[in-house]
Amino acid sequence: MKDDLPLVNICIPVYHSSPGVPKVLDQLLISIKAQSYPNIVTIASVQHSDLDPYSNAISNVIRGRGLITVYRKEGEPSGPAVNTNSAMSLAHRSDYIKIMNQDDFLNSPTVIEEMVTTLENSDSKWLASACIHTHGDSGDRYHLHTPHWPGEKNMVEGVNCIGCPSVVMFDSSLALECDPDILYAMDCDMWIQLFRQAGLPIIYNKPNIVVRVWENQLTSQLNIPRQLEADKIAMRKKYGYV
């Protein structure tokens, strides 16, 4: 660790949703281990307690880069919000927090270094990076997405023009807590929280994140139209748009 550099905690909520998860998680962990930036601690919050293959994969791949692993036992509260909050709760000593979905990965060895440098040289406390998409294990890259802020009211209505959690890095002084009552639009709720505390994000146009689209994504388990409507109702009430 380099004490003179800002500390970045990379928080990974891990879900036992399919046999393919350890493989995609490995790709993420390898991309973290390859980072040129030296001051990183990775926090993996694992949804189930009986995931030895996950534990071994995380320990073997990330060894030497700092690691905290949190296991959530069967019967404890679970879900994407709880699992993400569990990882972020251990990031209190960091300067910056970077959530990474288990499906996604960093697009080059300089991603974290570039994000930290950009934030350190600005007055903003959060950054949203462009991303590129891949499908399954194809290795193909398609659909470049550059974030923009659509306005708070549009975000309340589920218009997520920022992207998934993997594209954002934010200052740890900001209070961010994922809402367990908001599932599909959890990202929108997160971005509204950051916007209300810190204003607009820096938009970083380089596609630093690769977002994986595949059949075992957590959102594929939801009835999206129904869940999105429920989430919008919850956010309208939460943010005063009723």
Q: Give 175-225 pLDDT, tens digit per residue.
A: 999 999 998 899 999 999 999 999 999 999 999 999 988 777 766 666 788
Listing DSSP states for 119-184 in one string gives HHTSS-SEEEEEEEEEETT----EEEE------HHHHHTT---S--GGGEEEETTS-----TT--T
Pick the CATH number of 8-239 from 3.40.50.970, 3.30.70.2740, 3.90.550.10, 3.50.50.60: 3.90.550.10
Task: Quote the pLDDT of residue 15.
Answer: 78
Burial of 75 (0-12, 13-18, 19+ CB in 10 A): exposed
**69: pLDDT confidence band, cut at 50, 70 and 90?**
confident
Q: What percent of the chain has pLDDT over 90?
A: 55
Is there a contact between 168 and 223 (Cβ–Cβ < 8 Å)?
A: no
Across-strand partners of 42?
A: 10, 67
Position 240 scores a pLDDT of 95
pTM of the predicted structure, to 2 decimals:
0.89
Here the tokens at position 175 are 């209070």
Residue with the larger pLDDT of the pair 160 and 90: 160
pLDDT band at 65 (very low <50, low <70, confident <90, very high): low
Which has more confidence, 3 or 51?
3
Asked whether the beta carbons of 193 and 216 are under 8 A apart, the reply is no
How far apart CA 43 and CA 70 sit, in angstroms, is 8
Backbone φ, ψ for residue 41 (5° rounding): -120, 130
Burial (CB < 10 A; 0-12, 13-18, 19+), residue 215, is exposed
Q: Which residues contact 117 (CB under 8 A, 6 or more apart)?
A: none
The SS3 assignment for 19 reads: coil
pLDDT for 222 equals 64
Is a pLDDT exceeding 90 seen at residue 68?
no
Instruction: Report the range of poorest mean pLDDT among 69-73, 106-110, 142-146, 187-191.
Output: 69-73
Angstrom CA distances, 80 to 20, 29, 182, 185, stand at 18, 19, 9, 11
Q: How far is CA 187 from CA 32, 68, 131, 163, 165, in A?
A: 22, 24, 15, 7, 6
Which residue ranges make up each domain of the chain? Answer: 8-239
Q: For 45-66, b where at least 16 C-beta lie within 10 A, e where not — what string?
A: bbbeeebeebeebbeebbeebb
Dihedral of alpha carbons 114, 117, 123, 126, sign = positive
Closest to 68 measured CA to CA, from 92, 93, 87, 51: 87
